[in-house]
Amino acid sequence: MLITDLLRQNAASRGQDIAIVEINPKAAGDRAVSWRDYEESESYPDSARRREMTWRYFDEQANRVANFCLSRGIGRGNKAAMLMMNALEWFPIYFGILRSGAMVVPMSFRNTADEVKSCLELTNADAIFFGPEFTGMIEAIHGDIPSLATCVLTGPDAENAPFALGYRRSVDVCPSEDPGIDIAPGDDAAIYFTSGTMGKPKAILQTHESILSVCLTEQRNHGQTRDDVFLCMAPLFHTGAMMHWLGSLISASGAVLLREPKPESILKTVSGEGVTIAFMLVPWAQDVLQALENDRLKLADYELGQWRLMHIGAQPVPVELISRWKRYFPGQQYDTNYGLSEAMGPGCVHLGVENAHKIGAIGLPGQGWQAQIVDDDGHPVPQGKIGELIVQGPSVMRCYYNDTEATAAALRDGWLFTGDMGYVDPDGFIFLVDRKKDIIISGGENIYPIQIEDHIRKLGQVLDVAVIGANHRRLGEVPIAIVSVKPGEDCDDEEIMAHCEELPRYKRPRRCIFGDVPRNPTGKIEKPRLRAMYADVLD
């Protein structure tokens, strides 16, 4: 059984039911359209606020994508990348690539052109499906990647890129029948990206079996039935968002893809679409609470009685946040999911809705999983002592693709070393206390300080620089820069901030502090010391 088989089953048993609804609050139009309207119209109805797709059409479109890939020589052993904003199209393209026997390679839409190029080169991608927002980027780099023979542009401007094939004219004309490619559970299925301590992307290789395992885990953890409606707002290139949605796939229940996770849009969508389960990130929950506490929004204006579960992952969850949430939603269940891309996303450690008294913990080992806290030598530490969390289970990655050294460091004797530090309490619940590496997690996104440091160092006046995470109530952490200026040089924070505008917005430091950058005898920046000095500087 594969997740592509589950899609086929849903199309056969519930073909006319709505599988996924896309809500785009920024769109100009108000009418609801089905994706099939695209075939029947001369213009893309991209102005619609609400689009929907049935299970049958989802399955047919996945078959068209698979047959298109095969027609281009993309099948077993090949890789097809995806660089797209959240949209209905994401799902059949993802499933179609898998159904062709090729590996799907989702990439972050927040990546720079250099980062996208690095990911494509690392995986030797044969094709890329990309949205109109990335036309200029892909046009600039595609010729430098020898393996990249096929570029497909999706969206309303699909016919306006000379270097790429338009989705409608290339994919929609392909047969809608299943190509019938024989795929085994242990075959390679997907490559997701993470980064190492130096911020360079590492490619995580996962199998079809791993993805199905997460599907089963998600449905077991959150009990999705056909009556549920799941609200997805997180970027689909994250394993967290996609793997949480897989609970809807296995239960053949509906889902809503909300493209603007703002407080009013969230509550309006939950109310109007009958949402019963929502996966949130800490900033979004913070924003909803602030809107309610400031009386900008009133619960009485929405129908929320059916909303049975809110769960959060991707970053540490403040206990105070959930206490505030429960004051507004006292009858709602809450859950925390811990996971990492090397374990195919959420579920290897799981709090469980029945353990609300343990909010603050990441939980217990999930179904079929084992977890330990170990010292630097990999030996289990006593209860209550801090060490590194390691896990073992059914969806641990096969390897870091083309990186045997990193694989050997992360996978030892069947255990995945997570790099997260924590401890186990007397009841067996796991609590995280810090990260072994210096990654900054801001609003659920990983930020790698060295990338920002290298960028700031391009300024000639800068002698040294360190970037650390400062506490932030809504985002968890935000980057700040400690800058040492060369003797005799002048440099102010306005110049630093202006220089950093070249970075993606979420990577830009929120504050620049001028001072010494301490280093230890081996030359490493003493970031624990800096965090002790500046972690609360924004409070």
pLDDT, tens digit, 9 for 90 and up, residues 387-432? 899 999 999 999 999 999 999 999 999 999 998 888 999 999 999 8
111 plus 12 within the same structural domain = yes
Q: Which residues contact 202 (CB under 8 A, 6 or more apart)?
A: 193, 194, 195, 196, 400, 401, 403, 406
229 plus 160 within the same structural domain = no
397 plus 447 within the same structural domain = no
428 plus 498 within the same structural domain = no
Residue 171 pLDDT class (50, 70, 90 cuts): very high
Residue 282 pLDDT class (50, 70, 90 cuts): confident
Cβ burial of 13 (10 Å; 0-12, 13-18, 19+) is exposed
Q: Rounded CA gap, 282 and 271, in Å?
A: 21
Residue 68 lies in a domain: yes
User: Which of 196, 214, 209, 67 shows the shortest CA–CA distance to 122?
Assistant: 196
251 plus 164 within the same structural domain = no
Residue 189 lies in a domain: no
The mean per-residue pLDDT over the stretch 468-473 comes to: 92
Domain range for 483: 440-534
Residue 195 pLDDT class (50, 70, 90 cuts): low
Residue 512 pLDDT class (50, 70, 90 cuts): very high
* Number of domains present in the structure of the chain: 3
351 plus 374 within the same structural domain = yes
Q: Which residues contact 349 (CB under 8 A, 6 or more apart)?
A: 337, 338, 339, 362, 363, 364, 365, 366, 369, 371, 389, 391, 430
- Note whether 415 and 444 are within 8 A (CB): no
Instruction: Return the pLDDT at 358.
Output: 92
Residue 449 lies in a domain: yes
335 plus 421 within the same structural domain = yes
Which of 192-206, 339-353, 384-398 shows the lowest per-residue confidence on average (mean pLDDT)? 192-206
- End residue of a domain, out of 408, 435, 462: 435
Tell me the two tokens of residue 324. 């505030």
Which of 38-47, 54-63, 263-272 shows the lowest per-residue confidence on average (mean pLDDT)? 38-47
Residue 352 lies in a domain: yes
Residue 499 lies in a domain: yes
Residue 466 lies in a domain: yes
> What is the pTM (predicted TM-score) of this model?
0.83
The neighbour count for residue 175, using CB atoms within 10 Å, is: 13
Residue 481 pLDDT class (50, 70, 90 cuts): very high
% the chain with pLDDT above 90: 67
Pairing of strands 364-365, 345-350: antiparallel
264 plus 409 within the same structural domain = yes
430 plus 445 within the same structural domain = no
Residue 353 lies in a domain: yes
What is the SS3 string spanning 247-291?
A: HHHHHCCEEEEECCCCHHHHHHHHHHHCCCEEEECHHHHHHHHHH
Residue 213 lies in a domain: no
- How is residue 363 annotated by DSSP? B
The mean per-residue pLDDT over the stretch 74-92 comes to: 96
Instruction: Return the pLDDT at 316.
Output: 67
